[in-house]
Amino acid sequence: MSNYLEESVQRGGRKKRPVRIVLISVLALVLVAGLVAGAYLFNLANTYNTQTKTIEEVFPEGTDRPTRTAAAEGAQTILLLGSDENGGSSETENLPGVPNAGRSDTMMLMHLPANREGVSVMSIMRDTWTDIPGHGEHKINAATALGGVPLLVQTLEGMFDAPIDHVAIFDFEGFTGLTDALGGVTVNNEIAFQSRGADGEFFDQDEINLQGESALKFVRERYAFTDGDFQRVKNQQLFIKAIMGKFLTAETLTNPLKINEIVHQASPYLSVDEGLDATTAGGLALSLRNIRGDDVQFFTLPNLGIGTSADGQSIILKDDAAIADIAEALDNDTLGDYLQTAAS
């Protein structure tokens, strides 16, 4: 080989070596990043799976449950319950089969449409008078005392003729750490009020920041209002919407440390059905990655006001026509459209 060719080969080899080093470095960085991301996700899933509690029984057995129509294939409906040791009306509202749960205090159905372009959250007043399978007419909240979560699921599925996919129960005590992890949340408080108790707190009619114990007092209070539970449900909706709005921001979603802190703070106060493990919850969260706070709509199941039962209880009269409309919207996966029409 001539000197010219030798020099050319050597020069070519020397030119290729830096390229190989760069490629190896990039691959190493990708590998390290993948390992770090994998370790982070594993730790996040492990925190959720080990710190959340599993509800012993969730879905009714031996009954014909409603099935989802083809039009609503891919939609999901999740029953959200709030338990509060100090907030229920009586000890008969304790949630059987739920580890360390207090009294059933809040009831919501969260609907995720198949296209995941929005989220609808419906509050159900706990004194709503309805038929509870096998027990006749009662306040809907009595279902948990009469037959636990499965009977409540059966009652709601019968009311709307639509399946419930998952159940999640959150202990109100967890709101203190959750709001701290989020750095507080802001709500536009509609009515000024003083929460009860020796350590009661005044909440002005204005935009207010809720964090820690203040958040807990805000969502618990009902005695300060002339309409009691009605205003408390509105306040709970304001608060949960604020939490979702704060969580569903780019600032939070792109901050692994903050997400880790939120999961760490919330998981110990969360009880879920066996199917709502970290993989399923993570998949649902991923499907909602484009949702922001303004895409979440809160509303209360329409009713006909307050009445009195045959045995003298103060009850909330359900609106059967509105329930039929909501059932149809769930059947067609058009709940968002229904809400827009109802609001116009």
Q: Please report the pLDDT score of residue 131 as a whole number.
A: 96
Query: Which pair of tokens denotes residue 160?
Result: 């709307």
- Does 18 score more than 90 pLDDT? no
Residue type, 57: E
Name the residue with higher pLDDT: 93 or 121.
121
d(CA 119, CA 295): 6
Q: Is the pLDDT of residue 124 over 70?
A: yes
| pLDDT value at residue 99 | 47
pLDDT value of position 138:
94
Please, what CATH class does the domain formed by 52-172+248-343 belong to?
Answer: alpha beta
**pLDDT category, 86, cuts 50, 70, 90?**
low
Q: Which comes out higher in pLDDT, residue 274 or 18?
A: 274
Query: Distance between CA atoms of 245 and 282, rounded to whole angstroms?
Result: 18
Most confidently predicted of 9-23, 47-61, 67-81, 100-114:
67-81
Please give the average per-residue pLDDT across 82-88, as a whole number: 66
User: How does residue 36 score in pLDDT terms, banded at 50, 70 and 90?
Assistant: low
> What confidence tens digit (pLDDT) does each residue in 3-17 have?
544 554 455 555 567
Cα–Cα distance measured from residue 167 to residue 23, given in angstroms and rounded to the nearest whole number: 48
One-letter amino acid of 335: L
Look at residue 197 in the predicted model and tell me its pLDDT. 86
Window from 40-44, 226-230, 261-265 with minimum mean pLDDT: 40-44
pLDDT digits (tens, 9 = 90+) for 89-117: 444 445 555 544 445 678 999 999 999 99
Phi, psi of 89 (to 5 degrees): -80, -30
How large a percentage of the chain has pLDDT more than 90?
56
- In the block, tokens 């509050």 appear at 123
**Each residue's pLDDT tens digit, 168-181:** 999 888 888 899 88
- pLDDT tens for 244-261 read 988 888 788 888 888 889
Q: Return the domain boundaries, the chain.
A: 52-172+248-343
- The string of pLDDT tens digits covering residues 201-246 is 999 999 999 999 999 999 999 999 988 889 999 999 999 999 998 8
Higher pLDDT, 21 or 227: 227
> Which pTM does this prediction carry?
0.85
What's the whole-number mean pLDDT along residues 106-129?
95
Strands 185-188 vs 193-194: parallel, antiparallel or unpaired: unpaired
Tokens of 117: 């372009």
Which residue would you say has higher pLDDT here, 315 or 23? Answer: 315
H helix or E strand, kind and range, residue 287 = helix 278-287
Q: What is the mean pLDDT of residues 24-39?
A: 61
Question: What is the distance between the alpha carbons of residues 152 and 131, in angstroms, rounded to a whole number?
Answer: 11
Helix ranges, 183-255 (H): 213-220, 229-247, 250-253
Q: What is the pLDDT of residue 3?
A: 53
**pLDDT class for 79, splitting at 50, 70, 90?**
very high
Q: Are 71 and 102 in contact (CB under 8 A)?
A: no
Q: pLDDT by residue (tens digit) across 326-339?
A: 999 999 999 999 99
Q: What is the pLDDT of the chain when averaged over all its residues?
A: 86
**Interval 274-314: pLDDT, tens:** 999 999 998 998 898 888 889 999 999 999 999 999 999 99
